[in-house]
Amino acid sequence: MRSRTIPLREVHVWELPVRIYHWINALCIVSLCITGYIIGNPPAFMKGTEAYFNFWFGTVRFIHFVSAFLFFFNFIFRIYWGFTGNEFSRWYNFIPLKRCQWKEILDVIKVDVLQVTSKRIDSIGHNSLASLVYFITFLIFLLQCLTGFGMYGAMSSAFLPRLFGWVVPFLGGDMNVRQIHHLLMWGFILFALVHIYLVFYHDYIERRGVTSSMIGGWKFIEEDVIERHENKTEECPKG
């Protein structure tokens, strides 16, 4: 039997609200991408019948809209949690304002993406490159909500969608809004591909339990990393 003993400590990285946010978000994105793609490119599998007997396309759109509302409020909640959650979920992780965050981004590119050097990345939560990518996805979330509710608002008398009434005139008409909304969908799909791959990659290489951390919240972190984090002598303290 191969085994090894190394000084590891368990760290509670992702609090329950963050994990709930993550999985609701994941479900919404899967649902929105599938229904969205069908709305943009519906299969015409029914023939020789009358409209009276069917409503499947209306149902697909209904699922899309419900998922969109859920996605939107979940997103709002995550922004709120970025100001009240623990240190790993705070907003300052995601926006690289410090020089050391940019240095870590370069390090991650060298170590994990290009693999030209070998070095341990010591971030306990997200590394700086991952954080930056999440920040960009947040911007895409925002754009997707704006364009989506912008199109939805025209046929709704509800308060929330009406707030987005300015989006369509701002972008010059529904045609442009729909095109942007459709292109951004592919941003979600590409993100999901890379995201899932990188979870596998990090678990495979670092063995810090990153996959299960999004279920249980705990990660296994090397003791020296935690010590330096607690003494604020780590390479890139983010707080």
Partner 1 sequence: MKNQNPTFYEEVRGNGVSRRDFLKFCTTMAAFLGLEASGVAQIAKALQSKPRLPVIWFHFQECTCCSESFIRASHPIVANIVLDKISLDYQETLMAASGFQAEDAYKAVMQKFPGEYIVMVEGSIPTENEAYCCIGGRSALQILREAVQNCKAVVAWGNCASAGCVQAASPNPTGAKPVHKVISGKPVINVQGCPPIADVMAGVVVHLLTFDRIPQLDGLGRPKAFYSRRVHDTCYRRANFDAGLFVESFDDEGAKRGYCLYKMGCKGPVTYNSCGIIKWNDSVSYPIQSGHPCIGCAEAGFWDNGPFYQHLPGVAGFGVETTADKIGVGLGIATAVGIAGHAIVTNIRKHKEIINEPEEGSNVETTKES
- Which residues sit at the interface with partner 1, rule CB under 8 A? 1-7, 37, 40-42, 44-58, 60-61, 113, 115, 118, 154-155, 165-166, 168-170, 172-179, 182-183, 185-186, 189-190, 193-194, 197, 201, 204-206, 224
Contact 116, 110 (CB under 8 A): yes
Helix (H, G, I), strand (E, B) or coil at 132: helix
Minimum CB distance to partner 1 smaller for 65 or for 81? 65
Minimal distance, residue 173 CB to partner 1, in Å: 5
Q: Which two tokens stand for residue 3?
A: 């085994």
Question: Nearest CA to 236 among 122, 126, 131, 95?
Answer: 122
User: Smallest distance from the beta carbon of 85 to partner 1, in angstroms?
Assistant: 30
3-state secondary structure of 175: helix
- Please identify, using beta-carbon distances, which residue of 20 and 194 lies nearer to partner 1: 194
CB-based contacts of 120, cutoff 8 Å, min separation 6: 222
Cβ distance to partner 1 smaller for residue 76 or 175: 175
Contact 117, 110 (CB under 8 A): yes
Nearest to 26 by CA among 192, 216, 149, 236: 192
Q: How far is the CB of 207 from partner 1 (least distance, A)?
A: 8
Question: How far is CA 134 from each of CA 78, 87, 145, 171, rounded to the nearest angstrom?
Answer: 12, 16, 16, 25
Specify the residue, 113 or 215, whose C-beta has the smaller distance to partner 1: 113
Q: Other CB atoms closer than 10 Å to residue 139's CB: what's the count? A: 11
49 or 233, CB closer to partner 1? 49
CB of 127 to partner 1, least distance (A): 16
Q: Which residue has the tokens 């341990």?
A: 120
Which residue reads 């300052």 in tokens?
Answer: 92
Q: Are 187 and 140 in contact (CB under 8 A)?
A: yes
Q: How far is the CB of 187 from partner 1 (least distance, A)?
A: 9
**Using CA atoms, how far apart are residues 130 and 138, in angstroms rounded to an integer?**
12
Shortest Cβ distance from residue 92 to partner 1 (Å)? 29
SS3 category, 220 = strand
Looking at the Cβ atoms of 86 and 115, the one nearer to partner 1 is: 115
Supply the minimum distance, in Å, between the C-beta of residue 140 and partner 1.
14
Query: Given the complex with partner 1, which of 66 and 100 has the nearer CB atom?
Result: 66
